Each structure stands twice: as C-alpha cells, then as structure tokens.
Amino acid sequence: MYIPLNVNPAEEDTTDCTIRAISVALDEPWDKIYVDICAEGFLQKKMPDRNAVWGAYLYKRGFDRIQLPNTCPDCYTVRDFCRDNPVGTYILAIDGHVVAAIDGNYFDTQDSGDAVPIFVWGKF
C-alpha cells in the first residue's frame, strides 16, 4: 500500500529520493542520513548519489542486495514487490528514483507503485 511521506526537513521532493528512502527505512533523521552518505562518498571519492556509495552504506548498515524475480523483469512493479514481501525493510531502486518499502507498504512523495524496480536492498 502506498503511504505518502516526505521526510525532507525543507519539504523538498526532488533529487533527494535516496536520502529520503534511506531515512524512512532506517527511521533516522534526513540530516543524519545525508551527512552519512556524503561521508561514504568522500571515503570512496565518488559523488554521494552513486549507487555504489549508498549501496555500500546500506551494506554496512546490515542490508543485503536481493534478487528480484525474473518471471517478468519488465512488468514486476513496486506494488507487486510489496505484495510479495509483506515483512522486512527494503530500498528499491527504480529508473531515476529510489523508494522505501517496509512490511508491505511503500513510502514516497509520489505513488511509484507502477514503477519497475531495477534492484533492491533488504533487511529482514
């Protein structure tokens, strides 16, 4: 189920989706996640919005990258993923966007339920 949520303290809703999603998934303040991801980017000498940067951060926080079903890679949506994964905390990367899913619900500033995940990090 889609739950509208914007944890950005300035209520911005563009370009910070990764920070917002991780903030929701970890239940930690947006500011802390922003600083942590920037620090990880500094360590890697890469920009903080790179998948490798925030992926490494999630891995260090106990997340694992999980395999998506291959039955319909072009039609398996965020909504489908949430239905199939009613327990756990996930970060779903979709084309140009990142969304948090917790216990079968997805949290975002927009309804991204019809979007197709490219890859997923999960913590169970």
User: CA separation (Å) from 40 to 37, 56, 73, 89?
Assistant: 5, 8, 31, 21
Residues 90-103, mean pLDDT to the nearest whole number = 97
Quote the CA–CA distance of 68 and 22 in Å, as a whole number.
19
Q: What is the pLDDT, as a whole number, of residue 69? A: 86
Q: What is the pLDDT, as a whole number, of residue 122? A: 98
Q: What is the pLDDT of residues 30-66, one digit of tens each?
A: 999 999 999 999 999 999 999 999 999 999 999 999 9
State residue 84 phi and psi, 5-degree precision: -80, -10
Q: Within its chain, how far is the Cα of 4 from the centroid?
A: 14
Residues 111-115, mean pLDDT to the nearest whole number = 97
Q: Can you give the residue ranges of every domain in the chain?
A: 14-123
Who's near 120: CB < 8 A, 6+ residues apart?
Answer: 65, 66, 68, 81, 90, 91, 92, 93
pTM: 0.95
Token pair of 83 as six digits: 């239905």
Q: What is the pLDDT, as a whole number, of residue 73? A: 80
Q: What is the pLDDT, as a whole number, of residue 72? A: 86
Q: What is the pLDDT, as a whole number, of residue 14? A: 85
Q: What is the pLDDT of residues 57-73, one digit of tens each?
A: 999 999 999 999 888 88
| Eight-class DSSP state of 67 | P
